[in-house]
C-alpha cells in the first residue's frame, strides 16, 4: 500500500523542511518514501505543493489526482487551489486556520467560510487546526510547519511507523531558542493528532486507510 500526502501552502512557510523530515523519518522507519519538491521560482512567496508518497510499492514521485489520502495545508487558499488532488470518498484535509492574501494589486480573496466550505465538500473529513496561532504562542511565529509535522508524525505513528524521535532529532536549530520552540510546536502537533484520533475512534469517518496495519497489508 502507498500513502499519498500532499503538503501545500505559500513559499516561505517551511513546507520543504516539513516534508524533508517526514520523508527521511519514514525511510528510517523502514518504508520507502518519495518526496517531490518544487524549488527556485516557486519559493518566493508563491504557491507551493510537495508530494510525499510512503510505501514500498511507490515508484512515481507525484501523487495522482484525486488520490491523496491526506492534504495538509499551511494556508487555506492554497488548500482550495489543490482540491483536485483530494477525494470526497477517503481524503483527510488538515487545514491551518490562516489566510494569506496574495500580494498582487486588488487581489480578491474569498471569505474564509467559503474557502473552508469548498475544502470540506471535496474531502471525506476536514480538520481545522490553529497551527500558526499555537506556533506564535510557543515562540516561533513561522513554526506552523512544525505543528503540521507533529500532526502527520502522529498519524504515521498510529499507522505503525515510529516517527517521534527521528523527527525531534531532525528539527532545525536544535541548540537555539528557536529550535526549542520548534520542538515544543512539533509536540503540540502530536498532541493534536492524538486528540483527533481519539475523537474519531470507532466512528465511521470514511478514512478506511487510517488503520494500524496500513503498512503491513
Partner 1 sequence: MLGNEAIARGALEGGMGLAAAYPGTPSSEIVESLLKVKDKLGIYVEWSVNEKVAFEVSYAAAISGVKSLVAMKHVGLNVAADPLMSSAYTGVRESFVIVTADDPSMWSSQNEQDNRLYGVHAYIPVFEPSDPGEAKELCKFAFEFSSKVRHPVILRTTTRLSHTRGPVTLGAIPRLITRGEFTRRKEYVLTPSNARKDREAMLTRWKKIMDEVNVVPFNRIEGDGKNLVVASGIAYAYVKEIIASGKVGDGWKILKLSTPYPIPRKLLLKALEGVEKVLIVEELEPVVEKEVKATLYEEGITIELHGKDLIGLPYEMSHERVYSALKSFTEGRKPTVLATSSAREALPVPPRPPTFCPGCPYRPLFYAIRRYLDRRKLNYVAAGDIGCYALAHNPPYNLQDVIINMGGSIGTANGFAHVLDSVILAIIGDSTFFHTGIPPLVNAVWHRTPMITIILDNEITAMTGHQPSPTTRGADATENYIPLESVVRGLGVNFVEVIDPFDVSQVENALSKAMEYASKRREPAVIIARRKCALSALRSLRKAGIKPPLFKVDLSKCIKCGMCYNIFACPAIYPDKEGRAHIDPGLCVGCGACVQVCPVNAIVPVDHPDTYELQKGLIEKFWR
Question: Where does this chain bind partner 1 (CB under 8 A)?
Answer: 10-12, 19-20, 23-24, 27, 32-47, 57-62, 64-65, 67, 77-78, 80-81, 83-84, 100-110, 114-115, 118, 122, 132, 136, 141-142
Bridge-based pairing state of the strands 70-73 and 3-10: parallel
First to last CA, the chain: 7
Whole-number minimum distance, CB 65 to partner 1, in Å?
Answer: 6
Closest separation between CB of residue 89 and partner 1, Å?
A: 15
DSSP string, 136-165: HHTT-TT-HHHHHHHHHHHHHHHTT---HH
Grid cell at residue 159? 499507522
Q: List, as one string, the DSSP characters of 3-50.
A: EEEEEEEETTSSHHHHHHHHHHHHHHTT--EEEE---GGGGTTSEEEE
Residue 144's nearest CA partner among 179, 96, 105, 100 is 96
- The nearer residue to partner 1, 142 or 183, going by C-beta atoms, is 142
Give the nearest distance from C-beta 163 to partner 1 in angstroms: 16
Nearer residue to partner 1 within complex by CB, 46 or 160: 46
Query: Looking up cell 474569498, which residue turns up?
Result: 110
Q: How far is the CB of 137 from partner 1 (least distance, A)?
A: 13
CB of residue 112 to partner 1, shortest distance in Å = 12
**Residue 159 neighbours by CB distance under 10 Å:** 20
Helix, strand, coil percent values for the chain (each to nearest 5): 40, 15, 40
With respect to partner 1, which residue has the nearer C-beta, 165 or 173? Answer: 173
When the beta carbons of 59 and 201 are compared against partner 1, the nearer one is: 59
Cβ closer to partner 1: 43 or 194? 43
Query: What's the distance, CA 212 to chain centroid?
Result: 19
Q: Which is nearer to partner 1, 64 or 208 (CB)?
A: 64
> Least separation, in Å, of the C-beta of 37 and partner 1?
5
Amino acid at each position: 500500500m502507498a500513502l499519498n500526502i500532499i503538503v501545500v501552502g505559500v513559499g516561505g512557510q517551511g513546507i520543504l523542511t516539513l516534508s524533508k523530515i517526514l520523508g527521511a523519518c519514514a525511510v528510517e522507519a523502514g518504508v520507502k518514501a518519495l518526496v517531490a519538491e518544487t524549488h527556485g521560482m516557486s519559493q518566493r512567496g508563491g504557491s507551493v505543493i510537495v508530494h510525499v508518497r510512503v510505501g514500498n510499492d511507490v515508484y512515481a514521485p507525484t501523487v495522482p489526482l484525486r488520490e491523496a489520502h491526506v492534504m495538509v495545508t499551511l494556508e487555506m487558499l492554497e488548500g482550495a487551489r489543490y482540491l483536485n488532488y483530494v477525494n470526497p470518498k477517503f481524503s483527510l484535509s488538515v487545514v491551518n486556520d490562516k489566510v494569506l492574501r496574495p500580494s498582487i494589486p486588488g487581489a480578491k480573496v474569498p471569505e474564509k467560510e467559503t474557502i473552508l466550505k469548498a475544502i470540506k465538500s471535496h474531502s471525506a473529513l476536514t480538520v481545522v487546526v490553529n497551527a500558526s496561532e499555537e506556533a506564535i504562542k510557543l515562540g516561533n511565529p513561522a513554526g506552523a510547519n512544525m505543528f503540521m509535522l507533529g500532526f502527520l508524525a502522529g498519524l504515521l505513528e498510529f499507522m505503525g511507523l515510529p516517527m517521534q524521535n527521528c523527527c525531534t532529532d531532525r528539527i532545525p536549530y536544535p541548540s537555539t531558542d528557536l529550535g526549542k520552540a520548534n520542538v515544543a510546536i512539533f509536540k503540540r502537533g502530536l498532541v493534536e493528532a492524538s486528540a483527533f484520533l481519539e475523537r474519531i475512534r470507532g466512528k465511521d469517518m470514511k478514512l478506511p486507510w487510517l488503520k494500524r496495519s496500513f503498512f503491513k497489508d
